[in-house]
Homo-oligomer: A and B are copies of this chain.
Amino acid sequence: MTRRIPASTIRRLSHYLRSLEDLERDGGETVSSEELAERGQTTAAQVRKDLSHFGSFGKRGLGYKVEVLRDYIREILGVDRIWNVALIGAGRIGAALFEYPDFGSRGYKCVAIIDSDQAKIGTRWGDLQVRSPDDLQSLITDLGVELIVLAVPAQAAQEVAERAVKAGVKGILNFAPIRLKVPSEVHVEDVNLVMQLEAVSFAITQRTVGA
């Protein structure tokens, strides 16, 4: 719909979606921005503002219909469809993703696993076989992969990313602790657990030192 949506709005939309799914499981029919706010750790005004970027989905005096809003948010976030994902780097990080129950239920489908370790190539992971990096481009093209999970060591990441982008990948969930250089139309989302740990230790340290 509109341009220039704050990243914080997107994060909150993800929360709302989860809340709506919970509500539906519990048989809720409608929600108010108030109720959604409580569950999402924000304010009612914020909820309404977030949604207003994309349209008006509620009824005044009544609230939002749970199912309807859920579907709209799914559409906004682009999770109303299947995404073919390739996992590059068959280490523990990659494996961990599959433990996340929401991973599959949100439409992310792992269709290829690639690793450069000769010992891993050919082994089965569920119903997939680990493939060689040589097949990277052809796999991406043939399987229609738009999204990759990049879980390789830092020094290999840039090169792999470039090849993936060349083959048509549009988004990268990047676990390598480097800033990938990619064309601006490719979206990179960095996961950096050490950085998050540092945020924790900072908070504790300041709290201990400060007043």
Cβ A173 vs Cβ B146 within 8 A: no
**A146 nearest CB neighbor, chain B only:** B204
A98 to B93, CA, bound (A): 9
The interface centre, meaning the residue of A102, A198, A211 with most chain B CB atoms within 10 A of its CB, is: A198
A83 to B198, CA, bound (A): 11
Cβ A79 vs Cβ B189 within 8 A: no
Pick the residue among B78, B83, B95, B191 that contacts A193 (CB under 8 A).
Answer: B191
- A14-B195, A198-B10 are known contacts. Are A203 and B100 too (CB-CB below 8 A)? no
State how many copies of this chain the complex holds. Answer: 2
Cβ A202 vs Cβ B41 within 8 A: no
**A95 nearest CB neighbor, chain B only:** B92
Q: Which residues from chain B contact A197 at a C-beta distance below 8 Å?
A: 103, 106, 108, 147, 173, 189
A66 to B205, CA, bound (A): 23
**A171 nearest CB neighbor, chain B only:** B200
Q: Which residues from chain B contact A83 at a C-beta distance below 8 Å?
A: 201
Give the residues from 164 to 211 in chain A that come closer than 8 angstroms, CB to CB, to chain B. 170-173, 177, 179, 185, 187, 189, 191-207, 210-211
Residues of A within 8 A of B (CB-CB), count? 60
Cβ A92 vs Cβ B102 within 8 A: no
**How would residues 3 to 40 of chain A score, 1 for a CB under 8 Å from any chain B CB and 0 otherwise?**
10101001101110110000000000000000000010
Chain A residues with CB under 8 Å of chain B are 3, 5, 7, 10-11, 13-15, 17-18, 39, 41, 76-79, 83, 91-93, 95-100, 102-103, 106, 108, 146-147, 170-173, 177, 179, 185, 187, 189, 191-207, 210-211
